[in-house]
Amino acid sequence: MRDLKNLKVKIFADGADIASMVEAAANPLIEGFTTNPTLMRQAGVSDYKAFAQKALHAIPDRPISFEVFADDFATMDLQAREIASWGDNVYVKIPVTNTAGESAGPLIAALARSGIKLNITAIMTLDQVEEVGAALSEDVPAVVSVFAGRVADTGRDPVPHMKAALQLLSSRPNAELLWASPRELLNLFQADDVGCHIITMTPDLLKKLSLVDKDLDEYSLETVAMFRRDALAAGFSISLREKAAA
């Protein structure tokens, strides 16, 4: 039996719909929030700063990550410093590279030296984890987001990958390893077992928390009933032939 109250890993809600974020904030299991431009676009956000200020007003007591969206490092720097000024609980998301594949390491180092809390995103490889760890400040809080779900999408086992990432960050006590892009509820317990500090979960995954240790016989029966309801609702029918006489 797994008890959610005994989890060491922190759950951050991932999304950009204010109503869903406020709903998640009412859940004591949720200890932080992450957003990104893709999620914001999907949620219909058109004014970046207005959205961020609304989110920060609604959730003033937990970390929230907002991402830069420039592709050149000079503009990323300016955007990062502006975003950081929006609140003490703000973490600025910096992609590990730009779209040309150029490392954001020097920018990360400069921002960290300025005391800006960072969330380095879109990390896949252990080389990237090592480079980011070296760029971060020992004294400034940071999040290192490794996209374990996307790693798993390539057929690789993310568990040893994340264990190795955690070891690479051991010299940075203020850097937290985040299991990003989980695909199923099992990933929550895998992240906890590995020792990840944080895992992000979308609203759809958060809804599945109620399934933890659900009775499988009951779950099976509910599934059978679902198939039956949907077949009836669809109006399916099959013309049956009578059995031939023996």
Q: What's the number of domains the chain is made of? A: 1
The residue segments making up the domain with residue 88 are 4-210
**Are the beta carbons of 21 and 13 closer than 8 angstroms?**
yes
In a domain? residue 226: no
In a domain? residue 225: no
Tracing tokens 């499988």 back to the chain, one arrives at 216
Tens-place pLDDT, residues 122-180: 999 999 999 999 999 999 999 999 999 999 999 999 999 999 999 999 999 999 999 99
What CATH number corresponds to the domain at position 67? Answer: 3.20.20.70
In a domain? residue 33: yes
Tens-place pLDDT, residues 65-104: 999 999 999 999 999 999 999 999 999 999 999 999 999 9
Q: Please state the pTM of the whole predicted model.
A: 0.94
**Are the beta carbons of 136 and 171 closer than 8 angstroms?**
no
In a domain? residue 238: no
Tokens read off for 209: 């928390």
In a domain? residue 100: yes
Length of the chain: 246
In a domain? residue 190: yes
At residue 193, φ and ψ (nearest 5 deg) are: -65, -35
Q: Give the orientation angle of helix 48-58 with respect to helix 18-25, to 10 degrees.
A: 20
In a domain? residue 82: yes
